[in-house]
Amino acid sequence: MRLVVLGHGYSAGFLTRLLVPQGWTVTGTTRDDPARVASAGAQPLLWPGDEAAIRTELARADAILVSAGPGPEGDPALRDFAEAIAASPARWLGYLSTTGVYGDHGGGWVDETTPLTPSTRRGRERVAAEAAWQRLAADHGLPLHIFRLAGIYGPGRGPFEKLRSGTARRIVKPGQVFSRTHAEDIAQVLAASIGRPDPGAIYNVCDDEPAPPEQVLETAATLLGVPVPPAEDFATAEMTPMARSFYAESKRVANDRIKRDLGVALRYPDHRAGLLALLADEG
Query: Which domains are assigned to the chain?
Result: 2-156+180-207+253-267 (3.40.50.720)
What pLDDT was estimated at residue 246?
A: 86
Task: Walk along the chain (283 residues) in steps of 10 and give the mean pLDDT of each run.
Answer: 98 98 98 97 98 98 98 95 98 98 97 96 96 98 98 92 92 96 98 98 98 96 95 95 90 98 98 96 82
What is the Cα–Cα distance from 212 to 173, expressed in whole angstroms? 9
What pLDDT was estimated at residue 229?
A: 95
Question: Per-residue b/e over 225-252, b at no fewer than 16 CB within 10 Å?
Answer: eeeebeebebeebeeeeeeebbbebbbb
What pLDDT was estimated at residue 136?
A: 98
What pLDDT was estimated at residue 243?
A: 87
182 and 205 in contact (C-beta within 8 Å)? no
Cis peptide before 48 (omega within 30 of 0): yes
What pLDDT was estimated at residue 180?
A: 97
Q: Rounded to 10 degrees, what is the CA torsion of 32, 35, 38, 43?
A: 40
One-letter identity of residue 59: A
What pLDDT was estimated at residue 283?
A: 73
pTM of the model: 0.97
What pLDDT was estimated at residue 252?
A: 98
**First and final C-alpha spacing in the chain:** 35
What pLDDT was estimated at residue 282?
A: 84
